[in-house]
Amino acid sequence: MLQVDEARVCLAKAQTYWQAQQWEKTIQTCNQAIALDEKLPTAYKLLGDAFQRLGKIEAAIDNYRQAIAFDPNYAEAFANLGTLYAQQQEYEKATALYQQALIINPEFTQVSKHLVRVWELQQQGKNASVDLDVVTQPETVNCSTSLIKQAEELQQQGKLEAALQQYLDALEIAPQKIEIYQEVIKICEQLELWQEAAKYCRLVVQSDFKETPVIQQPVVITQTSVTVAKEHFDLGNQYSQDQKWQDAIGCYQKAIESDPQYGSAYHQLAEAYTHQQQWLEAVAAYRQAIKFKPDFSWSYNNLGYALIQLEQWSEAIPVYQQAIQLKPDFPWSYYNLAEAYRNLEQWKEAIAFYQQAAQIQADLPQVQQKLGDAYYQQTQQYRELALKHFQLAIEQDPQDPQPYHQALAIDKYNVELYLKLGDLLIQRGEIEEAIIIYQMALQIQPNNHQLMNRLQISLLKRDPEITQVLQYGRLLAQLEPQDNQEELQALATQLAQILPKCEQPTVSIIIPVYNQLNYTLQCLKAIALNLAETTRVEIIVVDDCSGDQTSETLNTINQINLIRHQSNQGFIHSCNHGASVAKGEYLYFLNNDTEIKPNCIESLIEVLVQDQEVGAVGSKLLYPQGSLQEAGGIIWQDASGWNYGRNDNAYAPEYNYLRPVDYCSGASLMVRKEIFEQLKGFEEDFAPAYYEDTDLCFAIRHQLGLKVMYQPKSQVIHYEGISSGTSLTTGAKQYQVTNAVKFKQKWQTVLESDGYLPNVGISNVPLSARKYTGQLTVLVIDSYPLYYDRESGSRRLWEILKIFKALNYHVIFLPDNGLKAEPYTTILQNLGIEVLYTQSGYGENIDKQLNERLSLIDVAWICRPQLNEKYIPLIRINPAIKVIYDTIDLHYLRFKRAWELSNNKDPKTATVWIDMQAKELKVAQQADFTITVTEVEQKILQAQGINNVAVIPNIHIPYQGEIPSFNERQGILFIGSYDHPPNVDAVFWLCQEIMPLVWQKNPNIKVTLLGNNPTTEVKGLESDRIIIPGYIHDLTPYFNSHKLSVSPLRYGAGMKGKIGQSLEYSLPVVSTSIGTEGMNLIVGEHILEANNAEDFARAILSLTEDKNLWEQISANCQSAIAIYTPQAIQLNIRELIEQLTK
């Protein structure tokens, strides 16, 4: 069905080209249609027409015969074949073909005329002039039979509106045919066009069909609009054929305006968006196409592909499942469905669908490789699960050595596990076994003091007089920097014991050296001490004809692949030579006058692994005393460079988030090997050194379209100038000036056109450093760091920040308290978010930091009324900034409801919420836009005169794992932060009033109170029936083990994250109406609702006892939050920001 539909789209394009007399394009497009559906007679007939126009008679004859073979009743094909024979003066063949055409279609008047002319020509003889031409193609021929035939085909395909249009066209040609009226009436009834059906019934009754019946405006189903829509649609197809996608988009949109139910137009519009890589727009258009053509599998396939481009893996899965149901023999549906499961790390499902794809088409590209990788990843997943359970076994019984051994069989490099096992064996008196364990661990970390001490103690316990233990105590001392040759050789000897070596490395470390042996050994020592045990590397040292003892000394270290130059060739040739023998997937160029810090190499690998669009990534370079040397480089319009952050505080926020840059220094630069080889290495025209790293980074960005990233987590001490000196007139450094001229000549066009700013000193630095970070800069302010795993408000804002990044906005996040809370700050920085703080080595005032960035900001998204009061005056210094006030919830509404619930309703105590209401309304009036989390609160503000209000609710991601059954669960779950007073009130009401009623019926039901910072009073509720674990990082086991979740909130405002999060896991919820407010949940279908203790207790008992009810609610949970997924909310946020900034 898919190919046939696509073939007809191609055929429509071919007919458009025919009408435009573009014969070659007609032929090309017909061939495309035949490739999709080889049994398409109209395509062969049209090919014959086009070849006839080009004078290719034999080709025309072959195609007419093919059309007749597939459709023996194709009158036009017989007629046109007859014309070709007549033109060849083969009149008998022509006569027979024309007669056959008339037998099929007696009304074919044009053929009758041709037949008469052929008889005349036969009488005139060979000298007669043949003046016949082919009949017009079916779209313009005055032939009702052809139109009826097309209508019947469309009717069989279920395309009733298109079929109706063809029948109406046939009526205009042959209004005397009663059977056409009968089909028109039938289709009108099927489309529920009752007035139109009645009209044609009256015409049939009133007319005896001896004369042409009078038909006035035969189409009330907007024949005019449908015709206009078809014209726009056909023009759009022509633009698509010419790859003029923007013009095509405009035509399809006009077609949809004329006919809003034009499913094919939506599909073609989505196709055009796809070619433009406008994925969000494509998704919306494909969904509309599916709405009006739900059986067209190609729309599902393409929608799935667009969702995959947006990394909306979960959304893509049901789409591909429907595509497979419609067309079960299309291999790419299975393949792409497997890809979605693969990205969700659901390996079992991925393997199953890769296998089905391979069964349908064994030579499908990459499918076998993908299958192999999925099996491998599944194995790794099982290993990780096994390790997790062994670790849990250790926690449950730390005195049993067996799970330690089993865990180490999987995690062979876990030194901590070796230590624990060794200590346990010592306790058990198994000294020999402990010694073996410590020795095995020391092979992994030879310089680990703790291991050396444990081994020394064990050896002394076994033999108090042993002296060999002293060698372990001396190991670290021997690794200290040495000055004389003897000591350097001793250091090299020790390095030979601890440097890593790998035959199949992930990373090839390439160190070009020229003399300075002591720095080279320090560089190697830093690698030995700071490289993670699991990181597979090879070390390649290229000695560029040193005059000291470099080669002789390094030759004693077997782990090093030492390359010696017989003459001095310079830095660039040394790097390229080293890269040519490298085995690793990544090349890590490292100067010998450096010392890497822990996690340096691993954090660079992390960037390349997580983002395939990154071609190279560099480190933060530090001076030995700790100040910043470089946080990525800036190149100005005149090709001069700027070391961003030089001599500044290395802990400053602007230097500590992942970001794209012009270039990173080759002193510590990691490049994908395939990229380096594709660009043929460092440009040797810059030999011997300088600008080669900048040139490589420019080529990666501007030739290959990839990113160059700065990774602040990768820190390297760089003794700048040791390898090349610092003078610009002597040594290798002298080439810096010369190569700057070469670089400018090579990249002149790029420097003038790609946003490179003029070199005017410090004033252009902040903007230049951020020029790749996004099309807009959004400042986000909240009270504290985003504790997204501890409270609902932070989780919502965390998802909003990720949406900003997905929309290509640069985000500056300002926590008002200035805390640099971990791991939360680092997680944001790893996403490329600039986080301001006044801690961890940096003490600049927050207001001053903000003031320095005001010129960079386009939109300020400020949470909570008090923060808007504080920051709006500062932000308005730059009047271009648009201010969005995010209420989080309406504070006054929450305060008011608490007041109404309290026993003391003294009007004096009402001033708290009254004052807050005045404050919130004032802030909303000052802001350019106000955000609420529910439509309820939006309407409350609108009723008070606040018009610019949008809803950005909580954001929820449905859980994709297995949902345990009713019988596998027990107990009741409450979750909430106890810093929030409504949650404290809720748990007291639950435990003191609701649960006693439940326990009267079922005393075995237990309650778990999860959440951050339980107060002393809350902790006092703990009993054998009430469990209070406090903060839990991973809530999944709790959501999957409890029978239901409760939200007994008696006051509050906003959207309740505890309910949404429960629905993510398909966990049924009992809530008050305050809890469900604004969530559009249907009581009894998505949730149970109760507003007094008795009803709440009954609802709890219903869900714990009624399996059918539980399963019904559980099955509807995730559909209830479909409107709150990141993909859905991203569209709203994008529209809001574009509206503000247009």
CATH number at residue 468: 1.25.40.10
- Do 788 and 654 fall into the same domain? no
* DSSP bridge pairs for 621: 630, 716
Phi, psi values for residue 782, rounded to 5°: -140, 175
- Do 938 and 970 fall into the same domain? no
**Cα atoms in the Cβ-side hemisphere of radius 13 Å centred on 987:** 29
Decide which of 625 and 653 is more confident.
653
- Do 799 and 935 fall into the same domain? yes
Which region among 106-115, 749-758, 955-964, 1020-1029 has the lowest average model confidence (pLDDT)? 106-115
Confidence of residue 884 (pLDDT cuts 50, 70, 90): very high
One-letter amino acid of 628: L
Query: What strands, in cross-sheet order, belong to the sheet with 929-932?
Result: 834-835, 809-815, 776-782, 859-863, 882-886, 929-932, 949-951
CB 849 within 8 A of CB 812: no
In a domain, 353, yes or no: no
- Do 513 and 425 fall into the same domain? no
In a domain, 597, yes or no: yes
Judged against a pLDDT cut of 70, whether residue 829 lies above it is answered with: yes
Judged against a pLDDT cut of 70, whether residue 743 lies above it is answered with: yes
Judged against a pLDDT cut of 70, whether residue 488 lies above it is answered with: yes
Average pLDDT over residues 780-800: 91
- Do 622 and 664 fall into the same domain? yes
The answer to whether the bond into 873 is cis (omega within 30° of 0) is: no
For residue 395, the Cα-to-chain-centroid distance in whole angstroms is 37
pLDDT computed for residue 523 by the predictor = 95
* β-pair type (659-660, 614-622): unpaired
Residue after which a domain boundary falls, among 718, 739, 760: 739
pLDDT computed for residue 490 by the predictor = 85
In a domain, 764, yes or no: no
The Cα-based distances of 786 to 650, 755, 819, 875 in angstroms read: 23, 33, 10, 22
pLDDT computed for residue 736 by the predictor = 59
Assign residue 362 a region: left if phi > 0, alpha if psi is -120 to 50, beta otherwise?
A: alpha
Residue whose pair of structure tokens reads 């504080």 in the numeric block: 870
CATH number at residue 1019: 3.40.50.2000
One-letter amino acid of 744: K
Judged against a pLDDT cut of 70, whether residue 689 lies above it is answered with: no
Which region among 468-472, 1075-1079, 1112-1116 has the lowest average model confidence (pLDDT)? 468-472
Phi, psi values for residue 589, rounded to 5°: -85, 125
Residue after which a domain boundary falls, among 739, 765, 784: 739
* Chain segment 572-590, per-residue pLDDT in tens: 999 999 999 999 999 999 9
The pTM score is 0.57
Distance CA 545, CA 211 (A): 106
Average pLDDT over residues 769-798: 91
pLDDT computed for residue 159 by the predictor = 82
- Do 531 and 401 fall into the same domain? no
Confidence of residue 777 (pLDDT cuts 50, 70, 90): very high
In a domain, 381, yes or no: no
Judged against a pLDDT cut of 60, whether residue 724 lies above it is answered with: no
One-letter amino acid of 347: W
Judged against a pLDDT cut of 80, whether residue 144 lies above it is answered with: no
The overall average pLDDT reported for the chain is: 85
For residue 203, give every residue at least 6 positions away whose Cβ sits within 8 Å of its Cβ, in sequence order, or none. Answer: 181, 213, 215
String of DSSP letters for 1093-1107: HHHHHHHHHHHHH-H
Judged against a pLDDT cut of 70, whether residue 841 lies above it is answered with: no
Owning domain of residue 399: 392-478
Instruction: Kindly state the percentage of the chain with pLDDT values over 70.
Output: 89
For the chain, how many helices (H) and strands (E)? 51, 25
- Do 182 and 145 fall into the same domain? yes
Secondary structure class of 1141 (helix, strand, coil):
helix
pLDDT computed for residue 172 by the predictor = 58
Confidence of residue 1110 (pLDDT cuts 50, 70, 90): very high
* Chain segment 352-385, per-residue pLDDT in tens: 998 998 888 888 778 887 888 888 788 778 888 8
Decide which of 466 and 446 is more confident.
446
In a domain, 843, yes or no: yes
In a domain, 540, yes or no: yes
Average pLDDT over residues 100-129: 72
Instruction: Kindly state the percentage of the chain with pLDDT values over 90.
Output: 44
pLDDT computed for residue 414 by the predictor = 84
Decide which of 525 and 371 is more confident.
525
Residue after which a domain boundary falls, among 438, 455, 478: 478
Average pLDDT over residues 104-132: 69
Token digits of residue 447? 């310089």
* Chain segment 932-950, per-residue pLDDT in tens: 999 989 999 999 989 999 9
Confidence of residue 6 (pLDDT cuts 50, 70, 90): low
Judged against a pLDDT cut of 50, whether residue 29 lies above it is answered with: yes
Which region among 73-77, 459-463, 1064-1068 has the lowest average model confidence (pLDDT)? 459-463
Residue whose pair of structure tokens reads 């099996």 in the numeric block: 375
Confidence of residue 472 (pLDDT cuts 50, 70, 90): very low
Rg of the chain on CA atoms, in Å: 38
CB 635 within 8 A of CB 751: yes
Identify the top-confidence range among 310-314, 996-1000, 1078-1082.
996-1000
Judged against a pLDDT cut of 50, whether residue 643 lies above it is answered with: yes
In a domain, 357, yes or no: no
Which region among 11-15, 223-227, 1023-1027 has the lowest average model confidence (pLDDT)? 223-227
Token digits of residue 26? 């007609």
- Do 677 and 732 fall into the same domain? yes
- Do 574 and 690 fall into the same domain? yes
Judged against a pLDDT cut of 70, whether residue 1102 lies above it is answered with: yes
pLDDT computed for residue 830 by the predictor = 96
The answer to whether the bond into 688 is cis (omega within 30° of 0) is: yes
Identify the top-confidence range among 81-85, 450-454, 710-714.
710-714
Residue whose pair of structure tokens reads 């640069």 in the numeric block: 810
String of DSSP letters for 290-328: HHH-TT-HHHHHHHHHHHHHTT-HHHHHHHHHHHHHH-T
pLDDT computed for residue 588 by the predictor = 98
Distance CA 852, CA 833 (A): 17
pLDDT computed for residue 1037 by the predictor = 94
CATH number at residue 609: 3.90.550.10
* Chain segment 672-688, per-residue pLDDT in tens: 999 999 999 999 888 76
Decide which of 109 and 722 is more confident.
109
Query: What strands, in cross-sheet order, belong to the sheet with 1088-1089?
Result: 1026-1030, 1007-1010, 972-975, 1044-1047, 1069-1071, 1088-1089
- Do 983 and 1002 fall into the same domain? yes
Sign of CA pseudo-dihedral 779, 862, 835, 764: positive
* DSSP bridge pairs for 1006: none
- Do 155 and 191 fall into the same domain? yes
* Chain segment 964-1020, per-residue pLDDT in tens: 999 999 999 999 989 888 999 999 999 999 999 999 999 999 999 998 889 899 999
pLDDT computed for residue 334 by the predictor = 92
String of DSSP letters for 955-987: ------S----GGG--SEEEE--TTSHHHHHHH
Average pLDDT over residues 790-795: 86
In a domain, 283, yes or no: no
State the total domains in the chain. Answer: 5
Q: Which of 666, 856, 686 is nearest to 771 (CA)?
A: 856
Confidence of residue 703 (pLDDT cuts 50, 70, 90): very high
- Do 993 and 933 fall into the same domain? no
